[in-house]
Chain A
Amino acid sequence: MKTNQLIDMLSTNVEHVRTGRLKQKLVWALIVGGAAAFCLMLTTVGLRTGVADGFRPGSLALKLLFTLSLVGVGSALLVRLMRPGQVGQKLLAFVFLPFFIVVCAGVASLVFGQPMAWGHMIFGMQWATCLLCIPLFAVVPFAALIWALRKGAPTNLTRAGAVAGLVAGALGATAYAFHCPDDSVPFIAIWYGTLVALCGVIGAMFGPRLLRW
């Protein structure tokens, strides 16, 4: 085929194109994915039970601050990554900031805490549940985000996949936070931090296969 033939075809009855729709798809993916993760949490492990076991809203707020800041920065990156030629280089550094802060805070609270309590601070009561739940809750958000990215045309598939995995992991962690009975900062740093990062690594591995066009 001659290229002119193709150009003839493509420029006959040129369709009007709306360019502002991509962000909406991403917002939908976040809403659907987040809601699915929350429902899954409710039906499997359930909400944290009441004030009796020492429920502290402060600790929930801390967890949510970590996870939602990742969701925020990650989504802002995805908006860019789903369009060709936008790499979001400046935003990329901000992805690492929540991790850095939570790790610093975790180390500080270990240093200032009593060595006797370290075991409890690190492993808490339900580290194994946390280990299972965060990646599990992240599955639907990840699928939804991949769907949204595929509506665009990402050109850096590894990075787009990594950020999608990270945001999905953070949504999974957000849902888990409503169950999580462990309040120590080192616990959040180690389990939340590692698992969300792991979701990012898995996303980076699958990105090139799932997102190619």
Chain B
Amino acid sequence: MLVLYELMDIRSSEPELRELMIAGLDSDAAAHRALLERLSGQLRAYFNGQLNRIGRGPVEAEDLVQEALIAIHTNRHTYDRSQLFTPWVYAIARYKFLDYLRRTRTSASDVPIDDASEMQAHNDNSRVESSLDLNKLLAEIPPKARQAIQYVKLAGLSVSEAAARSGMSESAVKVSVHRGLKALARLIRNEKQS
């Protein structure tokens, strides 16, 4: 365990990522975007590496990158500010990968043992599209949540503007956005259940 943490500490961008994460928790949108962009590169490299070994392609890897990003976003409340950031992200990525194997019925023993340093190793910047269709997924979530996401997360309206337009209270808008993102995360996970 100690070795793993040391590895990540030396090779990683831990301090910067952690700073971005904490700024994002305090609703700094630019920091949050920078964080997700950097993580997507690391996640892409990680999932590509893992999936390569079991003969799956970059589209599946991109699906997993997106699933992991939305999981990271909707589970930000589980990050403990006093702890390192990299192990938290790595645990989510690894969980999503193992969950993917379970869903697609690949035995974990088919996969060689991985270590966390790989996630940091290289930043693979391919521009592959995932097989997920955001509009189709949005159509499947409850209307209230869909509207809140369309206003706040896609059209970029402020929460108070969205509240005025939809006739909901501001806190109801916030809750709807959060529930909607959670529902999207669930849909993405089930979509891949084959």
Contacts and interface: CB of A to CB of B under 8 A. Distances in A.
A106 interface: no
Contact of B91 (A6, A8, A21, A84): A84
Interface string A174-213: 0000000000000000000000000000000000000011
A1 interface: yes
Contacts of A10: 32, 36, 69-70, 73, 153, 181
Given A5-B134, A19-B77, A14 B37 contact: no
A114 interface: no
Nearest to B137: A1
Interface string A118-143: 00000000000000000000000000
Interface stretch (B48-56, B92-100, B139-147): B92-100
Contacts of B95: 84, 153, 155
A35 B3 CA distance: 43
Contact of A85 (B25, B33, B90): B90
B78 A83 contact: yes
A3 B156 contact: no
A86 B69 contact: no
B177 interface: yes
Nearest to B37: A7
Contact of B130 (A1, A16, A85): A1
Given A17-B77, A83-B88, A2 B25 contact: no
A83 B80 contact: yes
Given A19-B80, A83-B78, A84-B88, A155 B159 contact: no
A82 interface: yes
A85 B87 CA distance: 5
A111 interface: no
A190 to B, nearest CB: 35
Given A5-B134, A85-B87, A85-B90, A13 B152 contact: yes
Contacts of A8: 33
B29 interface: yes
A12 B129 contact: no
A44 interface: no
B77 A12 contact: no
B66 interface: yes
Contacts of A161: none
Interface residues of A, number: 32
A79 to B, nearest CB: 10
Given A3-B130, A13-B153, A13-B156, A153 B27 contact: no
A212 B96 CA distance: 10
Contact of B77 (A3, A7, A9, A18): A18
A14 to B, nearest CB: 4
B36 A155 contact: no
Contact of A11 (B33, B75, B154, B185): B33
Contacts of A84: 75, 78, 88-89, 91-92, 95
Contacts of A152: 75, 78
Given A9-B154, A15-B177, A155 B92 contact: yes
Interface of B: 1, 24-30, 32-33, 36-37, 40, 44, 62, 65-66, 69-71, 73, 75-81, 83-84, 87-92, 94-95, 99, 127, 129-130, 132-134, 149, 152-154, 156-159, 174, 177-178, 181, 185, 189
9 contacts: A2-B130, A3-B69, A10-B181, A12-B29, A19-B81, A84-B75, A85-B83, A153-B75, A153-B92
Given A3-B62, A10-B70, 10 more contacts: A7-B37, A10-B36, A10-B73, A13-B157, A15-B178, A19-B77, A19-B79, A83-B80, A84-B75, A155-B95
